Amino acid sequence: MDGKWTVRKVREVVRDRWIDLRAETCETPEGREIDPYYVLSYPDWVNIVAITEDQNLVLTRQYRHAAGREFVELPGGAVEDFDQDLEAAARRELLEETGYSAPRFQRVATRFPNPALQTNRLHTFLAEGAVPIATPNLETGEEGLTVELVSLIDELDGIVGGLLEQALHVSSLHSALMAAGYLRIVPCDRD
């Protein structure tokens, strides 16, 4: 048994550029009906862990309306239909939000943010050798966004220990810092 539910009916609740919310009537393999079961379809997202040659992490600070305050975050955003591929989306988002680019991009992780309710995936990229090449080109809603550089050498404990509060960004940060060799898993002695 694969455990997959059967969708009996789909009702569109909201559909616009950013979100597709639908209510589904589902039947479990055991024959139980769940109605409604809400599913959110978003475009895939990219997060970029950009590191400069002098080992600074390129971050943004911006207001997040749902929480009602500013957050320090990784650059990132939605994969657009016009993006050639995921790396192109990551390069575009890094440049748009920070004005930085990098010669080396590596996808280090792809994860589902919330597979119980959402259809999209988050793709994490490590961008090494990041340098400023342009002025940020901010979208509506990103007004006031600022770029911050934080030293990976001097501030690694603070970065890993709580500078980022957004769970998806923490996951991306850890994956990329492990790929770049800044973090490693060391077995502990449990004696």
On whether the CB atoms of residues 143 and 80 are closer than 8 A, the answer is: no
Tell me how far apart the alpha carbons of residues 101 and 91 are, in angstroms, rounded to a whole number.
Answer: 7
pLDDT, averaged across the chain:
93
pLDDT tens digits, 92-140: 999 999 999 999 999 999 999 999 999 999 999 999 999 999 999 888 8
Instruction: Determine the Cα angle at 78 with ends 75 and 82, to 5°.
Output: 120
Which tokens sit at 184? Answer: 């490693």
Residue 174 CA: distances (Å) to CA of 7, 76, 166, 169: 36, 16, 13, 9
CATH classification of 45-180, choosing from 3.90.79.10, 3.30.499.10, 3.10.580.10, 3.40.50.300? 3.90.79.10
pLDDT of residue 137: 87
